[in-house]
Amino acid sequence: MARTRQTTPQTKEERLRKKREAERRRYYCLKQDPVGREQLRQKEIAQYLRKKEKEVIKPIEDLSERDKRRKRKQWREYSQKYRNKKRQIRMENERLVRRMHEDTPPLSEEERESLPTTPENHQRVSGKRRYATNRKRRSRENKYKHELIKKLQLKVQKYKQRYHRLKNIKLNKNDPSSPRGRAIQILDEDKKIVAKKLLFAEVMSDQLKQNYENLNSTKQKQIFRNVVSGEIVKKYRVKKCVKALLHGSNILDGKENDILQYSTKRRSDPQKINAIWRFLDNDLHSKLCPEKRDYCKRNKVIKQKRYLCNTMRNLHKEFSIRYPNMPVSYSFWCKNRPFWIVPRKVTSRDTCGCTCCFNMALLVQALNRMKVLTEGNVSEVTRTFCCAQKTEKCLLRECLKCKDNTISYKPYQSTEVGHFFKWTTRKESYFDKYQKQKSITKTIKQKLIMPLNEMIFEFEGSIINFLKHKGRSLHQYNQISKKKESLMPNEVMIHVDFSENYSLKHAEETQAFHFGGSRQQICLHTVVIYFKSNGIVHSKSFCTLSQSLKHDVSAIWAHLQPILSYISEVHVADTLIFVSDSPATQYRNKTMFYFLANKLHHLYPKIKECSWNYWESGHGKGAPDGVGGVTKRTADRLVAEGKDISSYEILLNSLQNNIKNITYFSIDDADINKISDLIKKDSIKPFVGTMQVHQVKVEDYTAGLLRFFRLSLFDVQSTSYFCGILDYSDEDNGYTQIEPEVSSDSDDDLPLSNLVIKRRCKEFITMTSTLMMKPAQAQKYINKIWCQVTL
């Protein structure tokens, strides 16, 4: 039995594919046969004509625009396809010929001569020549036509403008409402009318000229110029006549506004501006900010920010009193305020204020609120007690003119109760985690409620101390500023201060590190020295860094040791003038006095004279705070840029590489311990009245005498404000305090211990006579004063 052939059913696509392949083979066979190819061509032509008769195929001119575009696009595609096919065939033939030439050996000279030469086609050569000639000719003709068109366009535009001008002139001549039309009508009338019109024009011209000359202010002249100028003056080309009328002043050109605009030129007086800047840059009127974020930048100039100590209105009044020959308006005063001296905001509140000043301000505000005082702030109260100039003697109650000044009160009821706030310290007890009771001292802002007469007693009891506090602050600032400007070549002023500790940071930190106790702190001690070179006072900034957070005397001198070494190497100076604030735990204590008198010459052998000057308590901000702000701000900027400042060495290297105007030194614990070994803490005797001292002098290191002054005086022969001597000449037998002898009734010659009691009694007698206290109130205040004296 024969095997049956298994066939799988074909799909429609397969059948169509096989049909197309069979059709291609048939067409190929027909094209290879010349007779068959000719028959196929005739057949296609006849088919095309039949379709054309039936209008299946339309000529392109009968098609719509969209069909035309589609048809032409189809033709382009066919042509491109045809050309690509021809190009491939030509390239294939060239490749075959190249391969044949590579495989065929080169011909000899005889074979080359025997080859037939193909004659050059002369028609092609002549066609190329005619094409080049015609192209050059067309280019010249097009260029000439373009130039001719431009000339003709300019002429057309010129004649159009001329036509419009002539048309407007003709209309204006016929228009009696226009100035030119009225002028032509006048010329056609009687000569008397013409003369009268000309006389009117001349009279008005002279009158306007006279009125312009009588104007004084620039604003009035601007208004006058705007009135006599405008579009009509410009249209009839009489602007020169108006300019001659105003003596050559410039009238409005171009822009004409319906609303008059006054452009006053700002006149700046450099002398006044410099006086305003010096006044506001004074430490008495503005306070330097120590924080790293407190800076201002304008026009690529960076300045450490300063906050105003008073309102601009009150400071303007003080400026007018101080410079009576330099009148300055309040608007000019505010306009020329330096950009880095700014009013205080809530976000930039003062956290380094003076307790005495703050308490007096709070008390004055409360009395003014209760309608007892007419003065609303401390500045007005100070002006009441002092002369108009408000000098140091006025504030220290040494001025003969104003030392007896008193303040007046409005009528009030003594039984009325009022309140005020006061910054005080108090001790509080608490239990630690081991249930042990401990005490801690806290500073709080306490609300005090008392009758008005007791509030006035409080005010009278503290106003004199407040005025003297302000006087000491003003005296210290004036004396140190004058000395800074008049330094001798052998003197160097050293301004020192501790900056807030800097906490090391990472660019990215974990939560445990950020809120935990893993962050290390670095101690910063900033110094600015002032010296004179070639008759000019120069300054140089330093900053010493240490991992030890000690702020005692041994740490201070360890931080100052590299600065003293720098001064001994660079400058020929034998007199050192130190300036600092007055904290008792750092700069103003018995250990510091001992070191100045006995150990400083070991660190600086060239020294002959030395003095340490203290700012008044709460008023010690200065240039070193700016050095600390720049240092911490630069370190934070590097952290923000992605750099980890995670160790002491990285911080020191980063600051040295990025800040060129500040010299940085490193202080180790060994340096602090070395200084600490020099100090005999057990045998140091304190000076009675240390908290009243503002200047300590060592004039001769061989004598071993340390002189103390209540205020700074740099005159060697002056003994004013002298309050005692410590004799360090015999260390083994202890130190002797020598107080000045009492030679008169003057307070300046009293010992400091007697001075306090005497002045308290004077204040009490003045208050009791002024306020007429009742016996119970007087006894209460006596007990209060006696407690303060004994303390």
CA 127 to chain centre: 78
Given pLDDT bands bounded at 50, 70 and 90, which one contains residue 527?
A: very high
The mean pLDDT value for 409-426 works out to 85
- CA distances to 197, 198, 261 from 645, rounded to whole Å, are 90, 89, 58
Q: What is the pLDDT of residues 588-616, one digit of tens each?
A: 888 888 888 888 887 888 888 889 999 88
Confidence of residue 783 (pLDDT cuts 50, 70, 90): low
More confident residue, 77 or 768: 77
Residues 6 or more apart whose Cβ sits within 8 Å of residue 671: 558, 561
φ, ψ for residue 256 (rounded to 5)? Answer: -120, 120
Q: Which amino acid is at 750?
A: L
Least confident of 462-471, 638-647, 742-751: 742-751
| Predicted local confidence at residue 254, as pLDDT | 43
Chain segment 687-709, per-residue pLDDT in tens:
888 888 999 988 777 777 888 89
pLDDT value at 261 more than 50: no
> CB within 8 A of 574, min separation 6: which ones?
490, 606, 607, 608, 609
Q: What pLDDT, on a 0 to 100 scale, did the predictor assign at position 789?
A: 40
Of all residues in the chain, what percent carry a pLDDT higher than 70? 82
Share of the chain above pLDDT 90, in %: 14
Q: Which two tokens stand for residue 357?
A: 């000043």
187-237 per-position pLDDT tens digit: 666 677 777 777 888 888 888 888 888 888 888 888 888 888 888 888 777
* pLDDT of 72 above 90: yes
Q: At CA 213, angle to CA 208 and CA 219, rounded to 5?
A: 95
So what's the pLDDT on residue 7? 61
Q: Between 107 and 272, whose confidence is greater?
A: 272
What distance, in Å, lies between the first and last C-alpha atoms of the chain?
Answer: 141
Tell me the DSSP string of 466-494. Answer: HHHHHHHHHHHHHHHHHHHHT--TTEEEE
Model pLDDT, residue 292: 64
- Amino acid symbol at 429: S
In order, the DSSP letters of 735-769 are -EEEPPP--SS-GGGS-HHHHHHHHHHHHHHHHHH
- The average confidence (pLDDT) of the chain is 80
DSSP label at residue 178: S
Cα gap 362→369, rounded to integer Å: 11
Q: Which residues are 297's β-sheet partners? A: 302
> Strand pairing partners for 450?
418
**Cβ-contact 499, 624 below 8 angstroms:** yes
Any idea which residue has 């719509």 for tokens? 64
The confidence band for 136, taking pLDDT boundaries of 50, 70 and 90, is very high
CA angle 553, 555, 557 (to 5 degrees): 70
**pLDDT tens track for 4-59:** 555 677 888 888 999 999 988 988 888 888 888 898 889 889 998 898 888 888 88
Per-residue pLDDT at 786: 43
pLDDT digits (tens, 9 = 90+) for 499-517: 888 988 888 888 777 776 7
Render pLDDT for 243-255 as a digit per residue (tens, 0 to 9): 777 765 554 444 4
pLDDT single digits (tens) 6-17: 567 788 888 899
The C-alpha atoms of residue 655 and residue 423 are separated, in whole angstroms, by 39
Query: Is pLDDT above 50 for 497?
Result: yes
Q: Is the pLDDT of residue 779 over 80?
A: no
Q: What share of the chain is helix, strand, coil (3-state, %, to 5)?
A: 50, 15, 35
Measured CA to CA, the distance from residue 253 to residue 239 in angstroms comes to: 10
Please provide the DSSP assignment of 764-781 as one string: HHHHHHHHT--HHHHHHH
Identify the weakest region by mean pLDDT among 488-502, 565-579, 702-716.
702-716
Cα distances (angstroms) measured from residue 622 to each of 182, 233, 477, 696: 79, 64, 11, 20
| Structure tokens that stand for 780 in this block | 């209460």
> Domain coordinates of the chain in residue numbers?
270-342, 355-469, 486-507+519-738, 754-790
Model pTM? 0.55
pLDDT tens-place string over residues 436-450: 888 888 888 888 888
In the block, residue with structure tokens 């409080």: 458
pLDDT of residue 115: 63
Model confidence at 735, in pLDDT bands (50, 70, 90)? low
**Band of residue 739 on the pLDDT scale cut at 50, 70, 90:** low
